[in-house]
Amino acid sequence: MPKVNIIPIILKPEHRTKAINELIAHAKKTKSTEPGCLRFDIIQDSSDLNRIWLYEVYKDEKAVLKHNNTEYMEQRNNSDIWNWRETTNNKPCKGYNIWPSDEDY
């Protein structure tokens, strides 16, 4: 069953461009090297340019664990990218896909 993560991020305005470029590079790397990543979107809020969401769909929990244990994910987690966002209490939304069905992916 596909695993979905929706991660809200509010960027600090002075780091917005650099952070988005880093996130795009990360999404491209994930999509090109991880067959278990079915989708990795970066969504821009239309009313606040500093608010974005990461929308990630993985084949299953095993694919999420594999993603979380990649070398580039470890590098990202240890980089200063997290200093580029506001420290708000925005918890990720994690769940499972209801539709489309697994066969449709």
Residues of the domain holding 62: 3-81+90-98
Q: Is residue 104 part of a domain?
A: no
Enter the DSSP assignment of 85.
B
Kindly report the pTM of this predicted structure: 0.82
Q: Is residue 13 part of a domain?
A: yes
Q: Is residue 22 part of a domain?
A: yes
Domain count, the chain: 1
Q: Is residue 67 part of a domain?
A: yes
How many alpha carbons lie under 13 Å from residue 74 in its C-beta half-sphere?
5
Sign of the CA dihedral 95, 31, 59, 66?
A: negative
Q: Is residue 105 part of a domain?
A: no
Residue 49: which CATH number? 3.30.70.100
Residues 84-104: pLDDT tens digits? 777 666 677 777 777 777 677
Residues 9-36: pLDDT tens digits? 999 999 999 999 989 999 999 999 999 9
Q: Is residue 54 part of a domain?
A: yes
Enter the DSSP assignment of 24.
H
